[in-house]
């Protein structure tokens, strides 16, 4: 009879999994060997947090749950940060952790904590595998991970689990729950609201982006000329050049969207997931019509005039059949408003090299098929407005979970899943410190990822918030002098960028390299406070 580890690896292979990210412990060895024999790759990382983030990105880009692994106790707690990201950024993921044997649960044993208690609030489901239930448990975990809303499932592997199990036929397909069709009555109510509206405004969110519904949304917008605002993770749903595109909520200068939003007499949320940005943080005092796979999360004092909950693709298909009036928007004014928003982000420059300059040069140098993985920080607010993408999935960020340290592991995960696309990770000097050990992972695997580090010597977003609260800058300064002060870091080349010309030259050299490259972009972050919006009402 085969060993359970071998059947586990066969099951992963049948699901389309290619990589398992993690840091092993002693009990992991049989599973690693089973992966090797099955032709799957165990990707050793520097920190289990990164393993979760890489698996998250693989799940986003492929639709197949990303897989990560950690050992007892501290391995599991490190992994938890990456797993939580998959939960709130809506990525399908399977997280495996080594656990104590059944006989030792609840005992005082080295490295022993209750992994199910740890992962219960971070996952859609947490359980333990046994030789008797292994296949049913894995099949159920897959279905739960990919079902709406997608997210992580945690499975404990008891240390004494390995052993012989009966061979089982493994089907390559596991039936996922069918989405609930939208209620016809709610659809009729929604149609009536859109018939009566004079100036509806579309707010497109994360659900629409991860379901790949941009072709349907673009057809609807083309047909009815309705202005569109996006949440950050919905970038690419509508090109920035489209005359109906108005801007991105929550990110830089999004407070300038308020006058446009106040012209609306109906806000239509399509795939709007409030995990990114609550409706009430920006919604004008007009009725809300909500289309999504989940009900709207909004305080009761707001007017939810209609909510169509269920299969979002089916709802959008119905929208396209409706004969709606010609709306009263002045699209020339909408376009001018957008151009003023963009211009406001570029103004105020001078002799210094700013984050906006670095981002602008990065955009001009990268080809259209490039993927940018963005870390959390003040620079992310600029990217949300400035970065242009033609389709979802070309700008990767965490906005539901918002964990610093995301940029580097996300770039590695993207490069593994999309080896033919140029991949850049953009991070601040603070975020770089959190997962810079993964540069060894990239170096060991020969991954040509370019890590651009915006070096302004501060935790700039926290410094901005200290200014808003009118308190002195305190413990946000990261270092004095140079950041790298060397031409290599962990054996990875470090190129410099002190101005736009040097940024362009360094990017061109880095993209042509055989392995990972760091670009130290020394920027003046003094304009961040002017660019990052404090209020959105």
Full residue range of the structural domain in which residue 245 is found: 184-337
Place of tokens 């059947």: 7
Q: CA-CA distance, 229 to 201, in Å (whole number)?
A: 8
Q: pLDDT category, 348, cuts 50, 70, 90?
A: low
> Do 141 and 241 share a domain, yes or no?
no
Cβ(516)–Cβ(492) below 8 Å: yes
Q: Domain end: 309, 337, 365, which one?
A: 337
Residue 171 lies in a domain: no
Residue 35 lies in a domain: yes
Lowest-confidence region among 164-173, 206-215, 423-432: 164-173
Buried b (16+ CB within 10 A) or exposed e, 501-525: ebbeebbeebbeeebbbbbbbbbeb
Q: What percent of the chain has pLDDT over 70?
A: 97
Model pLDDT, residue 207: 98
Model pLDDT, residue 149: 95
- pLDDT greater than 50 at residue 536: no
Task: Give pLDDT tens digits for 27-77.
Answer: 999 999 999 999 999 999 999 999 999 999 999 999 999 999 999 999 999
> Do 367 and 416 share a domain, yes or no?
yes
> Do 151 and 9 share a domain, yes or no?
yes
> Do 290 and 388 share a domain, yes or no?
no
Model pLDDT, residue 537: 41
Cβ(231)–Cβ(89) below 8 Å: no
DSSP output for 474-531: -S-B--SS-SS-SSEETTEEEEEESSHHHHHHHHHHHHTSSS-EEEEEE--GGGHHHH
Residue 21 lies in a domain: yes
Residue 431 lies in a domain: yes
Residue 342 lies in a domain: no
> Do 209 and 286 share a domain, yes or no?
yes
What would the mean pLDDT of 467-473 be, rounded to a whole number? 87
Q: Domain end: 318, 337, 356, which one?
A: 337
> Do 449 and 311 share a domain, yes or no?
no
**Backbone angles phi and psi of 104, in degrees to 5:** -100, 0
The CA-CA-CA angle for residues 499, 504, 508, to 5°, reads 150
Residue 167 lies in a domain: no
* CATH number of the domain to which 69 belongs: 3.40.50.970
Q: Which of 198, 245, 257, 194 is nearest to 218 (CA)?
A: 245
Cβ(24)–Cβ(42) below 8 Å: yes
> Do 276 and 380 share a domain, yes or no?
no
Mean pLDDT of the chain: 94
Q: Domain end: 143, 158, 173, which one?
A: 158
Residue 210 lies in a domain: yes
Say if strands 488-489 and 492-497 run parallel, antiparallel, or are unpaired.
antiparallel
> Do 138 and 233 share a domain, yes or no?
no
Q: How far is CA 421 from CA 41, 53, 360, 412, 492, in A?
A: 20, 19, 20, 12, 20
Cβ(385)–Cβ(251) below 8 Å: yes
- pLDDT greater than 80 at residue 535: no
Task: Give pLDDT tens digits for 485-504.
Answer: 999 999 999 999 999 999 99
H or E stretch at 134: helix 134-146
Q: CA-CA distance, 203 to 199, in Å (whole number)?
A: 13
> Do 519 and 442 share a domain, yes or no?
yes
Cβ(413)–Cβ(55) below 8 Å: yes
Place of tokens 């304009």: 527
Q: What percent of the chain has pLDDT over 90?
A: 83
> Do 129 and 260 share a domain, yes or no?
no
Place of tokens 């009430």: 280
What would the mean pLDDT of 325-329 be, rounded to a whole number? 95
- pLDDT greater than 90 at residue 372: yes
* CATH number of the domain to which 265 belongs: 3.40.50.1220
- pLDDT greater than 80 at residue 8: yes
> Do 32 and 135 share a domain, yes or no?
yes
Burial class (CB in 10 A: 0-12, 13-18, 19+), 488: exposed
What the block records as the tokens of 371 is 């993927």
Cβ(397)–Cβ(380) below 8 Å: yes
What would the mean pLDDT of 287-295 be, rounded to a whole number? 97
Model pLDDT, residue 361: 97
> Do 101 and 144 share a domain, yes or no?
yes
The structural domain count of the chain equals: 3
Residue 174 lies in a domain: no
């Amino acid at each position: 009879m085969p060993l359970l580890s071998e059947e586990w690896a066969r099951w992963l292979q049948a699901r389309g999994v290619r990589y398992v990210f993690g840091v092993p412990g002693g009990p992991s060895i049989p599973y690693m060997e089973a992966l090797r024999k099955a032709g799957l790759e165990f990707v050793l990382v520097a920190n289990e947090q990164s393993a979760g983030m890489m698996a998250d990105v693989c799940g986003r880009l492929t639709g197949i749950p990303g897989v990560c692994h950690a050992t007892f106790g501290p391995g599991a707690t490190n992994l938890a940060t990456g797993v939580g990201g998959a939960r709130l950024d809506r990525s399908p993921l399977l997280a495996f952790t080594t656990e104590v044997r059944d006989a030792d649960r609840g005992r005082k044993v080295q490295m022993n904590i209750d992994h199910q208690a740890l992962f219960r609030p971070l996952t859609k489901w947490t359980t333990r595998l046994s030789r008797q239930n292994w296949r049913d448990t894995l099949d159920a975990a897959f279905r739960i991970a990919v079902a709406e809303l997608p997210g992580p499932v945690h499975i404990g592997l008891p240390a004494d689990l390995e052993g012989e199990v009966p061979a089982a036929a493994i089907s390559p397909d596991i039936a996922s729950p069918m989405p609930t069709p939208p209620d016809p009555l709610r659809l009729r109510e929604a149609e009536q609201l859109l018939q009566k509206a004079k100036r509806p405004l579309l707010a497109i969110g994360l659900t629409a982006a991860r379901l790949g519904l941009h072709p349907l949304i673009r057809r609807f917008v083309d047909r009815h000329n309705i202005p569109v605002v996006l949440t950050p993770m919905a970038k690419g749903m509508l090109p920035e050049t489209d005359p109906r595109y108005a801007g991105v909520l929550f990110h830089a200068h999004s407070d300038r969207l308020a006058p446009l939003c106040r012209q609306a007499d109906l806000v239509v949320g399509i795939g709007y997931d409030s995990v990114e940005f609550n409706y009430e943080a920006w919604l004008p005092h007009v009725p809300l019509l909500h289309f999504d796979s989940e009900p709207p999360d909004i305080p009761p004092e707001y007017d939810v005039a209609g909510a169509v909950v269920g299969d979002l693709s089916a709802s959008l298909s119905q929208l396209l059949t409706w004969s709606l009036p010609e709306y009263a928007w002045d699209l020339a004014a909408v376009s001018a408003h957008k151009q003023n928003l963009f211009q406001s982000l570029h103004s105020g420059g001078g002799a210094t090299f700013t984050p906006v300059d670095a981002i602008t040069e990065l955009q001009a140098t990268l080809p259209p098929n490039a993927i940018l993985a963005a870390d959390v920080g003040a620079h992310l607010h600029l990217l949300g407005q400035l970065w242009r993408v033609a389709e979802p999935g070309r700008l990767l960020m965490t906005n539901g979970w918002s964990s610093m340290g995301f940029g580097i592991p996300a770039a590695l995960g993207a490069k593994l899943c999309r080896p033919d696309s140029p991949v850049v990770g953009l991070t601040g000097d603070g975020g770089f410190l959190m997962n810079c050990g993964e540069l060894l992972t990239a170096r060991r695997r020969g991954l040509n990822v370019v890590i651009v580090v915006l070096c302004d010597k501060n935790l700039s977003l926290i410094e901005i918030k200290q200014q808003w609260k009118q308190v002195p800058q305190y413990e946000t300064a990261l270092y004095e002098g140079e950041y790298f002060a060397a031409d290599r870091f962990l054996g990875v080349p470090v190129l410099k960028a002190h101005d736009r010309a040097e940024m362009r030259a360094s990017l061109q050299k880095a993209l042509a390299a055989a392995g990972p490259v760091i670009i130290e972009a020394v920027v003046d972050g003094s304009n961040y406070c002017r660019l990052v919006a404090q209020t959105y009402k």
